[in-house]
Amino acid sequence: MSLSVHIRQRLEGFDLEVDFDAPPGLTALFGASGTGKTSVVNAVAGLSRPDRARIAVGDWALCDTGQRLHLPPHKRRLGYIFQEGRLFPHLTVRQNLHYGAWFTRRHGPGEDMARVVEMLGIGALLNRRPGALSGGEKQRVAIGRALLAKPRLILADEPLAALDEARKAEILPYFERLRDEAGIPILYVSHSPAEVARLATTVVALERGRVARMATPGELFSDPGFRPAGPRAIGAVLEARVRLHHDDGLTELDAGGVPLFLPHISEPPGHPIRVRIAAQDVTLSLDAPGRISALNVLSGTVDEVQAGDGPGAVVAMKTPAGRVLARVTRRSVAALDLKPGLACHAIVKTVSIAPGDVGGGA
């Protein structure tokens, strides 16, 4: 089901003017803090009242100020996963999980409790209270609670922002499964390019309360001109498949016929994978590299060169694996005379690909 969002709302500092119609799957609201991401989600949830709005899931309208329609939050059939979990401290984990299901029981049977508990690995926690859980455990319970409320729309507001890298890596796969299996539209707020590149079907990039860009992560992140979160956040996303796991702890991927080596991941051979290659981890070479330690070499031609305001530039390369971005200095651009059409090699160290940058592709 698609998600249609049109909002006009006066906020402190700027006006929210957001319009998008997102296809089924996971729609990521992406942008720096203070761009209105949470305001959009709260309007969709019914927690705030926009001046003018039309919000619909498929053909089911949640809010239509033209028709004087504003469903209260409890009638919107939501599964809202908050940044801080917001578990009820006076209830056990089991009671928290049942909370939403009880109110929506008249809508027929929903997700099977046992299946959700199993998927999230929270079986051992059921009799505990939220106060006794770690941050990652709380967040998994919060996901379960949202799923069991029989939602027609899942909202997630920076659900991983409060967690450390290890906990993020633990929870990201659940969102991938949700996107691939639940068949419910997901609106996911994040300021992390790695998360968005990995999870999103569609990215809606916000800037000062407006939609700056709407595209697939592949299109958006391979555009050297798109850098809403600073130069360090630039990095293209490649679609690949697991080829095999080597004995020395490396996993070999097949990206459009090109082998890519990265630290071991758990997905089985044949599994589709998205890999984000941060532009600052890519080295360019005009000659085919000889005896070097980096394992990944992507050969292709320069497609686009975008000089920044500072000493840096972003070079986009066309390779059989897809578009790759490299962040280099303007001095190097001049020294190598990099310009569109030039044959070139991109060198990527295996160890520079972080686990958070790799995920199951859609």
Partner 1 sequence: MSGWLGPEEWQALALSLKVATWATLAALPLGLFVAHALARWQFPGKQILNGLVHLPLVLPPVVTGYLLLLTFNPTAPVGDALNAIGITFAFRWTGAALAAGVMGFPLMVRAMRLSIEAVDPKLEQAAATLGASRIWVFFTVTLPLILPGVLAGAILGFAKAMGEFGATITFVSNIPGQTQTLPSAIYAFLQVPGGEGAALRLVLISVVVAMGALLASELLARRLAKRVGGA
By CB under 8 A, residue 100 contacts partner 1? yes
Q: Choose which of 15, 84, 219, 252 interacts with partner 1 (CB under 8 A).
A: 84
- Distance (Å, whole) CA 131 – CA 209: 36
Distance of CA 28 to the CA centre of its chain: 6
Q: Token pair of 95, please?
A: 């009671």
By CB under 8 A, residue 104 contacts partner 1? yes
Q: Which residues contact 284 (CB under 8 A, 6 or more apart)?
A: 315, 317, 326, 328, 332, 336, 338, 344, 345, 346, 347
Q: Choose which of 3, 29, 45, 284 interacts with partner 1 (CB under 8 A).
A: 45
Minimal distance in Å, beta carbon 190 to partner 1?
19
User: Taking contact as CB under 8 A, which single stretch among the options 129-137, 188-196, 229-237, 245-253 is the one that binds partner 1?
Assistant: 129-137
Q: Choose which of 82, 215, 306, 345 interacts with partner 1 (CB under 8 A).
A: 82
Helix (H) or strand (E) holding 222: none
The count of other CB atoms within 10 Å of the CB of residue 340 is 12
Helix (H) or strand (E) holding 237: strand 235-245
By CB under 8 A, residue 20 contacts partner 1? no
Burial class for 123, CB neighbours closer than 10 Å (0-12, 13-18, 19+):
exposed
Minimal distance in Å, beta carbon 134 to partner 1?
13
The count of other CB atoms within 10 Å of the CB of residue 292 is 11
By CB under 8 A, residue 159 contacts partner 1? no
Minimal distance in Å, beta carbon 117 to partner 1?
17
Minimal distance in Å, beta carbon 336 to partner 1?
53
Q: Choose which of 8, 129, 245, 330 interacts with partner 1 (CB under 8 A).
A: 129
- Distance (Å, whole) CA 359 – CA 362: 9
Minimal distance in Å, beta carbon 22 to partner 1?
20
Which of positions 49-78 make contact with partner 1 (CB under 8 A)?
A: 72-78
By CB under 8 A, residue 110 contacts partner 1? no
CB closer to partner 1 out of 127 and 301: 127
Q: Choose which of 1, 32, 47, 342 interacts with partner 1 (CB under 8 A).
A: 47
Burial class for 30, CB neighbours closer than 10 Å (0-12, 13-18, 19+):
buried
By CB under 8 A, residue 80 contacts partner 1? yes
User: Taking contact as CB under 8 A, which single stretch among the options 124-132, 223-231, 279-287, 289-297 is the one that binds partner 1?
Assistant: 124-132
By CB under 8 A, residue 131 contacts partner 1? yes
Could you give the count of Cα atoms lying within 13 Å of 37 in the half-sphere of its Cβ? Answer: 26
In the complex, which residues of this chain contact partner 1 (CB under 8 A)? 45-47, 72-80, 82, 84, 86, 88-90, 99-100, 103-104, 129-132, 145-146, 149, 155
